[in-house]
Structure 1
Amino acid sequence: MLDQLPSPTRSLSGLSREEKTFTFAHFTCEHAWVVGNILRNALRTADVAAIIHISLSSNQTLFHSPSLPGMVPDNEIWVARKRATVLRWGHSTWYMACMFGGEDRKFADYYGLGTSERGKYAIEGGGYPIFVKGVEGVVGAIVVAGLDGDQAHQVVVKAMEEYKELRDGFRSPMRNILTALK
């Protein structure tokens, strides 16, 4: 399944537009639960072990789960590094990888990251920003760790597209009741 995903764009303007396409009206633990489960089900269906992590910029974890057994402690470090990149630069980790041609040294030199700081960030796909309408900056991050960067990016993008379709077609029972009362 993952090998059937199209390759992500490498265009910075295209990636920036893509990120803004998924701006939420608001973002709660309910949103994280749905997005996280879309990701988990997709990865399980593809028989791929990965960690899915969704958190707010305040460090509050809203969703954290392996898709299948087989994760190692190092995957948690990748989650933290991808999350830190998204929150600091406000872009997906794939965007940052494309910006620097995947060259960690070029990235570190450009931002003046010292030796001790370099290990705090990762520039490969799998970290994705959460934007909320009317809120400046990134409010959180969606992270998938355990896949190749381009696949991790595309899995998140496809999950966001699926979430958007579900949301756009969703009519809650309460909304129907309120509409009938008018």
Structure 2
Amino acid sequence: MSCTDPPRDLASIAAKDNELVFPSFTADTAWELGNALRSRLLEFPTPAVVNISLANSGQLLFHTATRSGTQPDNDLWVARKRSTVLRWGNSTWYMHNKYAGNEGAFAAKFMLGDTAGQYAIHGGGMPIRVKGVEGIVGVIVVSGLKQEWDHQVIVETVEKYLKGQ
């Protein structure tokens, strides 16, 4: 199984990311969305992790491995992607393409120094936006597939979820 590759130009990425706005977002939403992501990811032979948390408190609303074979490293990637979304308010796929995947240039631009390892500009981290709310309310992270598919699985699943609302 695979995904269509997401766009690489910033305008298209931003437009798609900004379309994905929820009418509301609760623990029930996270549960439904998390299970939808897990079901979609089960179509892939590679194990992955799904993580959904709130932005303001960091409260974990959903976390699962899709199958045996994930590693503690997946959770480190989740934390790094989440930190990037929280700090810059964009998807990690957007940030990846903005800096052409160059972690060194990204770290230098923001003078991250010793904290650079806390952030990742690899696809798979997506902000949760709610209509009428300033800023992001949470973060969705997928880790385990190729980074462009980590991102695209989120996009496709959120689109499908929102169409059903």
TM-score, normalisation: structure 2: 0.96
| Structure-1 separation of matches of 2:43 and 2:5 | 20
| Structure-2 separation of matches of 1:60 and 1:126 | 19
Secondary structure at the counterpart of residue 59 of structure 1: coil
Q: Which residue of 2 aligns with 1:128?
A: 126
Asked if 1:159 is matched to 2:153, the reply is no
- Which AA in structure 1 matches 2:103? D
| Structure-1 separation of matches of 2:66 and 2:30 | 15
Give the conservation status (yes or no) of the 8 Å contact 2:22–2:162. no
| Structure-2 separation of matches of 1:160 and 1:43 | 13
% same residue = 47
Equivalent residue in structure 1 for 2:31, among 26, 33, 51 = 33
Higher helix share: 1
Larger radius of gyration: 1
Secondary structure at the counterpart of residue 90 of structure 2: coil
Which of the pair has the greater relative contact order for Cα pairs under 8 Å at 6+ separation? Answer: 2
The alpha-carbon deviation at position 165 of structure 1 amounts to 2.2
Q: Which runs of 5+ in 1 are unaligned?
A: 168-182
Any idea what the Cα deviations from partners look like across 1:110-148, whole Å, max 9, x if unmatched?
11111x210000001000010111211111100001111
Asked if 1:61 is matched to 2:60, the reply is yes
Q: Which residue of 2 aligns with 1:99?
A: 98
Q: CA RMSD in A?
A: 0.9
Asked if 1:8 is matched to 2:16, the reply is no
TM-score, normalisation: structure 1: 0.87
| Structure-1 separation of matches of 2:4 and 2:71 | 28
| Structure-2 separation of matches of 1:45 and 1:166 | 21
| Structure-2 separation of matches of 1:103 and 1:132 | 31
| Structure-1 separation of matches of 2:48 and 2:151 | 13
| Structure-2 separation of matches of 1:118 and 1:43 | 29
Any idea what the Cα deviations from partners look like across 1:22-41, whole Å, max 9, x if unmatched?
11121101111111111101
Q: Which residue of 1 aligns with 2:81?
A: 82
Off by >2 Å, runs of 4+ in structure 1: 45-48
Q: Which residue of 2 aligns with 1:138?
A: 136
Q: Which residue of 2 aligns with 1:171?
A: none
Any idea what the Cα deviations from partners look like across 1:96-118, whole Å, max 9, x if unmatched?
0000000000100111111x210
| Structure-2 separation of matches of 1:166 and 1:140 | 20
The alpha-carbon deviation at position 45 of structure 1 amounts to 2.5
The alpha-carbon deviation at position 43 of structure 1 amounts to 1.1
Secondary structure at the counterpart of residue 45 of structure 1: coil
- Which AA in structure 2 matches 1:17? A
